[in-house]
Structure 1
Amino acid sequence: MNWDDLKYFLAVCRMGSIRAAAAELNVNHATVSRRINNFEASLGQRLFERSAKGYTRTKIADEIYQESSHLEERLSTVARQIAGKDNSLSGDIRITLPDLFARGLLMPAIAEFCKQYPLIHIEIIDSARLFNLANREADVAFRVCEQPPEYLIAKQLAVMHRSCYMARKLLPELEQESWLEQQNWIGWNDKMRRPVGKIAREYPRFDSKHKITSAVLQAEACKNGMGIAVLPCFYGDLEPELVRVPPYSSEAKYNFWLVYHPDLRKNAKIQTFVSFMIEQMQVQKPLIEGEKPMPVNLPLL
């Protein structure tokens, strides 16, 4: 049995479709389809039931999935242990992070790291999905969560704050009595049409209009006057076309972490990158935690 066949098989099992598996493996979908068909032919067994909803594992596929997952884990352990003994400051580092965090926060620091260590090559996966670090889907992850899994080494970089933003071009409208009260939230989806917590209590009279599931697109909608957006302070405060809404306060919402696998604690380039980014994020911590003075040129409610 070819390990490459198992890689394609596992990807389809986890993603549920050929196209999703192809995107995960960064290959053409025809390649994945061909490898699955060849794998089924070599086994003489049908591994998936095809339908418009995707690929569903058969009973024999369930058995193969369990065994091949264990094999994948053992091979990943060997790979991590070998990588953990790497003392060179060259080669690749695979990083995963939500794309919102790149602009203005992480990317400038990563670019500076690359200048200082030109033999280290960075691969960035912009996704909010929790990649499996044990299987080396990534070497280092920047995550927003309450607490990372205990089996990972985690460094809390900051407590991420959020605030309410409006388009800067609409600032003159604040001088009109009750104008702000008549504005609307830009919601996320049906279940999250309105924010909750401190922010919601400060602006209880806002209606909820529009639903946009991307923070980047919410910011664009906000800049174009579609409503009030709740955004991370590190993003909204750096955006010149946005400004906080009175009373300009922020709310602690999520913990921001850097995590990696313990097997890489002695890998020279990983540890160099981790130390560098921790130092850089300490400089950015006030921005992440919303420590921005109230603009003196804006009117109070």
Structure 2
Amino acid sequence: MRDWDDLRHFLAVARAGSTLGAARALGVNQTTCARRIAALEAATAMQLFERRQAGYRLTEAGARLLALAERVEQEVRALEGALEAERRMLSGRLRATTNESIANAVLTPFLARFREAYPRIRVEVTITDRALELARGEADVALRAGRQPEAVGVAVRRICHLPWTIYCARDYAMRHGVPTSRAEIGGHAVIGGEGSVAKIAGVRWLEEAAAGVEVVSRSGSLTNMTAAAVAGIGLAALPCMIGDREPALQRCFPPVPGIGGDLWLVVREEARGVPHVRAFLDSLVADLAAVRAMLEGTAPGRD
């Protein structure tokens, strides 16, 4: 015997009478289902099914295993139910912080799902470009982009790379064309930054590439810069996780090396072992893994 997943596939085939029916019930492909059955038969050294043209039929050994597998299934479901009840009872308060761009792209959608799973955990979010001091108790958890955060009293985990490139509106591209390299940016209208946004590597890179060209719009907000690009005002440097999510925008060229940063998960050392904070961290890490292609700008269909 290997694991519960093999038994789960066995039960599905026994009930459906075929690997095709079982695959549909489990949401997997037929090849995976057939491979699981073959692996289970090899592990148990028993033929569990007769393969017939009409489908799979249990052998005597398979029928005996079916009774045992159904008992295991009941125990697994009981355990899952108990764990679900325990999880939903978990309660507490935690404070999370990030900037507006990461909040809109990642944290806010995650929180909607997290609240469904953990209704008694209260998450308070502070959206700010200022790096709150977790070690001093200003927040418990932070998502930060850029260089690795350095601070005493916190644990830091790298999530992934966040690439940047240059975007323009599709209608802008139809009217003015699209630069395909840094050298071609000079003939285009440019959206620049101000304040802390002007210091971001990608924003600086675009303004330096467009030296001598009038910057037609400036903003201290990446969200507003995105809106300006969508409106067709000019070119904007944006992280792929923002630009790729806007149907009205297109990439001018692939992500530019050296102007991106990394995404970091930071947690206050004193808080990370607390059960409800641990549940939040584990759930967030799993959610970030699920959207990794979006964060890294590798999702299918990007031009």
Q: TM class by shorter-chain length?
A: 0.5 to 0.7
Q: Does structure 2 retain, via aligned residues, the 8 Å contact 1:152–1:260? A: yes
Structure 1 alignment gaps of length 5 or more: 1-87, 297-301
Structural RMSD (CA): 3.1
SS of 2:234's partner is: coil
The Cα shift of 1:271 comes to: 0.7
Whichever structure has more helix as a proportion of its residues is 2
- What TM-score, normalized by structure 2, do the two folds share? 0.60
The Cα shift of 1:145 comes to: 3.2
Q: Which has the larger radius of gyration?
A: 2
- Structure 1 residue 112 corresponds to structure 2 residue 113: yes
Distance 2:92 2:248 in 1: 39
Q: Does structure 1 retain, via aligned residues, the 8 Å contact 2:146–2:263? A: yes
Check 1:200–1:188 CA distance in 2 against 1; reply closer, same or farther (3 A cut). Answer: closer
Match of 1:184 in 2: 189
The Cα shift of 1:182 comes to: 2.4
Check 1:177–1:221 CA distance in 2 against 1; reply closer, same or farther (3 A cut). Answer: closer
Counterpart residue type for residue 154 of structure 1: V
- What TM-score, normalized by structure 1, do the two folds share? 0.60
User: Residue 170 of structure 1 is aligned with which of 169, 172, 185?
Assistant: 172
SS of 1:270's partner is: helix
Q: Does structure 1 retain, via aligned residues, the 8 Å contact 2:162–2:261? A: yes
SS of 2:134's partner is: coil
Pairwise mapping of residues 247-258 of structure 1 onto structure 2 (< 5 A)? 247-251=253-257, 253-258=260-265
How high is the sequence identity, in percent, across the aligned residues?
25
Deviates most, 139-148 or 228-237: 139-148
The Cα shift of 1:175 comes to: 5.5
Distance 1:201 1:292 in 2: 29
- Structure 1 residue 225 corresponds to structure 2 residue 232: yes
Distance 1:237 1:97 in 2: 20
Pairwise mapping of residues 8-47 of structure 1 onto structure 2 (< 5 A)? none
Deviations 1:238-294 (A, max 9, x none): 11222211x233445212111111112320010111111111112222222222567
Structure 2 alignment gaps of length 5 or more: 1-88
The Cα shift of 1:112 comes to: 0.7
Counterpart residue type for residue 288 of structure 2: M
SS of 2:260's partner is: strand
Deviates most, 256-265 or 166-175: 166-175
Match of 2:277 in 1: 270
Match of 2:296 in 1: 289
SS of 2:278's partner is: helix
SS of 2:287's partner is: helix
Match of 1:17 in 2: none
Match of 1:145 in 2: 146
Match of 1:94 in 2: 95
Check 1:151–1:136 CA distance in 2 against 1; reply closer, same or farther (3 A cut). Answer: closer
Deviates most, 123-132 or 250-259: 250-259
Query: RCO (CA 8 Å, sep 6+): is it higher in 1 or 2?
Result: 1
Deviations 1:4-43 (A, max 9, x none): xxxxxxxxxxxxxxxxxxxxxxxxxxxxxxxxxxxxxxxx
Pairwise mapping of residues 55-74 of structure 1 onto structure 2 (< 5 A)? none
The Cα shift of 1:90 comes to: 0.7
State the number of aligned residues: 207
Check 1:293–1:180 CA distance in 2 against 1; reply closer, same or farther (3 A cut). Answer: farther
The Cα shift of 1:176 comes to: 8.9
Q: Does structure 2 retain, via aligned residues, the 8 Å contact 1:183–1:207? A: no
The Cα shift of 1:184 comes to: 2.1
Check 1:205–1:292 CA distance in 2 against 1; reply closer, same or farther (3 A cut). Answer: farther
Check 1:135–1:150 CA distance in 2 against 1; reply closer, same or farther (3 A cut). Answer: closer
Distance 2:115 2:167 in 1: 33
Match of 1:133 in 2: 134
Counterpart residue type for residue 90 of structure 1: S
Deviations 1:89-130 (A, max 9, x none): 212211111011122322111211111011111111111111
